[in-house]
Structure 1
Amino acid sequence: MFNLKSFQKVQPLNPFYPGLLAQTKGYVEQAINPNRRGRVRYQSTYWFGICADARSLPPGTEVTVLGRRGNTLLVQPIVS
């Protein structure tokens, strides 16, 4: 099981290129279940992703990337 508490110290997306932070939208490629990692497509690459508020996100869900921890992005669904 993935531990959400490890995200207490979330790193910025890219501290060396702050201009890249302007693009924070991604898409769920593989379902993200509560407290479990899935896959997210972000900036033309695939990352592990976990939902910030521990909910299920089906493939195709548009998400905002809040930060990262290692190779895992912390995401939140975009509510329209």
Structure 2
Amino acid sequence: MSGKGKPDPSLLDAHLQHRAIVTEVIQPGQRGRVAYQGTTWVAFCRYQVVLPVNTPVRVVEQYSATTLIIEPVPLVNTPSLLPDNIA
């Protein structure tokens, strides 16, 4: 990590725009797990949605060595899915 709460930019490039599959339900504001590049990762979605098992997601950020930030695929620009500070 480059600073507290900030991902190391050198870790991000290989993971941006990649697809993963939810392997453990991800509840709003909670962590779950996704299958990505042959292994499972801890994952967190910034959107206030439930992501059931087998949901395709897009990896948008590698937050740490073991945690990915993901979003649903496809993500429709729907205000109800956007974080409160964006809508």
**What TM-score range do you get, normalising by the shorter chain?**
0.7 to 0.9
Task: Please tell me the residue identity of whatever aligns with 2:61.
Answer: G
Q: Which residue pairs with 2:72 in the alignment? A: 77
**Structure 2 unpaired stretches of 5+:** 76-87
Within 5 Å, which residues of 2 pair with 1:1-80?
Answer: 9-12=6-9, 14=11, 18=13, 20-21=14-15, 24-70=18-64, 71-79=66-74
TM normalised by structure 2 equals 0.67
- Count of residues paired in the alignment: 71
Runs of 4+ in 1 over 6 A off after TM superposition: none
Change (3 A) 1:40 1:12: farther
Q: State the superposition RMSD in angstroms.
A: 2.4
* CA distance in 1: counterparts of 2:62 and 2:15, whole angstroms: 12
Change (3 A) 1:12 1:40: farther
* CA distance in 1: counterparts of 2:40 and 2:67, whole angstroms: 10
Q: Which has the higher helix share?
A: 1
**Structure 1 unpaired stretches of 5+:** 1-5
Aligned-residue offset at 1:54: 2.6
Once the two structures are superposed, what CA deviation does each residue of 1:20-45 show, in whole Å capped at 9, x if it has no partner?
34761000000000110001001011
Sequence identity, in percent?
A: 32
2:15 and 2:61 in contact (8 A); partners too: no
